[in-house]
Structure formats: C-alpha cells, structure tokens
Amino acid sequence: MKLVASTNRAPASVNRYLLPHEQDVVTIRRHPAVLMTPVALVLGALIMAGILSNTALAATPTALAVIWWVWLLVLVWFVWKVAEWSVDYFVITSARLLLTQGLITRQVNMMPLGKVTDMRFERSLVGRFLGYGTFVMESAGQDQALSRINFVPYPEQLYLEVVGLIFPDKGK
C-alpha cells in the first residue's frame, strides 16, 4: 500500500535525471514554508517603505524614488526565491533519493537507497504546526552530498515510504 500518492508525472526537469530502470515513486516540491522568510522580508520592506515615504527622509522626489527602488529590488529577490522553489524537487525512486535545486545553476544531489545506513526525520514546533520536517540521512561513515533535506512535506508518510523501499517486504 502506498502511503503517498505519486502522480508519475514528474516534470521533465526531473525525468532527465532518472535512469531507464528506475521507477519514480514520489516527486514533490519542498514545503511552501521554505518561503516564510522571503515573504516576511518583502512584507517588512513594504511596510518600511510605506513608513519612510511619510517621513522627512522622503522630502525630495529622489529620496522617495530611492526608497521604492530598494523595495522593488527586495520584491525582485522574492520573485526569484519563489521561482527557485517552483523548480526544486525532492524525488524518491525505486533506487535512490534525489534533490534537484537551482534555477540557473542546476544542482542534483543523490543518495542510493542501498547506501543509507541511518535515516531519521526531525520536526520543530513550527514544522509540526505547518506540516513539514527535515530528513537526516547517514551512510557508512562517508560524507554524502545528500545528507539533510529541509522543509519536507508529509515527513511521516515519506519516511515510511523510504523505509519501505530500503527494507522491502520479503513476504511478497
């Protein structure tokens, strides 16, 4: 029984990294909570720009323009963060775990399921409230490119899915 439904419609940006014999089990984006800090910063900058616009600092049109151009730069940074989040995927296949990241410079971190010697997930109070966690994986005393995955949605279900792949049911 699958605990997390897979759409088997992984985007092309992910499919290009899968081997022909691999079966896509789950492909998900990281939890939207990864955007909490950028949202807070862009809203805080908007409030500050609004406050500064009504003070003596914005007495000249040039100063007012600088305030709003700075806010526009923060907004562009926020849009960039959202775009990065939209192309980042955590993929569980029948043979390995993948984390693809990056909009311009693509980074693909991978760990074969057979190399995972220890795996746990952690959930902070905020993570429990919002529904995300962190996967921490270790393998045979080696440093791995994929050892920690933050902002994983449905961590309990995904944890059980991965453990089920690492330790398959011998009765089948």
Joined together, the tokens standing for residue 67 give: 């305030």
Q: Among 85, 95, 94, which Cα is nearest to 28's?
A: 85
pLDDT in tens, the chain (172 residues): 444 544 556 688 888 889 889 888 999 999 999 999 999 999 999 999 999 998 888 788 898 999 999 999 999 999 999 999 999 999 999 999 999 999 999 999 999 988 888 888 899 999 999 999 999 988 876 667 788 999 999 999 999 998 888 888 776 5
Q: What is the per-residue pLDDT for 76?
A: 98
The pLDDT value given to residue 3? 47
pLDDT reported for residue 45? 96
